[in-house]
Amino acid sequence: MPASRVSAATIAARLSAVGLPARVEEYARFTSVEADVPESLSIESWKEVLEAVAEADRFGLLATSLNGRTLRAVVHKPVPTTGDVGGPSHQR
């Protein structure tokens, strides 16, 4: 399993342990972890959430009056080395 997927799964598990069921989505360049955040989250839970998302490459909180609050953490996938970009037929 790629390191980005392991990191994202760890973040998702930690968020779920705090009571925030997380969604993990794979993209070409990164893995995303998202969770809806209730208004009533305790200070202790916020500390756990911040410690969990601190493991990500980027994270943020989107708050709107229509959709509530959504936490998002992104873990970048490794960029292939120059020799691997074109596959075996393109290596020198």
Helix or strand holding residue 14 (H, E)? helix 3-17
Q: What is the mean pLDDT of residues 6-10?
A: 94
CA geometry: angle 69, 78, 87, nearest 5 deg: 135
16-48 per-position pLDDT tens digit: 999 999 999 999 999 999 999 998 999 999 999
Q: Which two tokens stand for residue 29?
A: 């360049």
Entry pTM: 0.80
CB 5 within 8 A of CB 80: no
Q: Are strands 68-76 and 58-64 parallel, antiparallel or unpaired?
A: antiparallel
3-state secondary structure of 32: strand
